[in-house]
Amino acid sequence: MQAPELSVHEHTYHRFMLAVKWFAAHLAVAIVLLTLWFATPVGFWGALLVAAIVWGVIVFAMNHGLNHSSEPHLSEHPDDIPRHA
């Protein structure tokens, strides 16, 4: 059994890493959209279509493995986080 502080830290770290992954996903879609819109002859609608496809791939990847922590012992359930009294 781990100390409660360490367990809370692990869960906080896991959530932070998940937030960083989602931020990176949003940033990637924004870069794709703006690059295709302004730096190629594709135009707005073509850029939006490609950005939507990229977003769909990212969401699929996040829902099928990328959202999990690299530490197998961390639980995915927020109710399992020990709270201080």
Task: Kindly give the confidence (pLDDT) of every residue in the chain, 85 residues in length, as a single tens digit, with 9 standing for 90 and above.
Answer: 667 788 888 889 989 999 999 999 999 999 999 999 999 999 999 999 999 999 999 999 988 887 666 655 554 555 555 555 4
Task: Give the pLDDT of residue 77.
Answer: 52
C-alpha–C-alpha distance, residues 23 and 70, integer Å: 18
What is the C-alpha to C-alpha distance for residues 40 and 59, in angstroms, rounded to an integer? Answer: 25
Q: Note whether 10 and 71 are within 8 A (CB).
A: yes
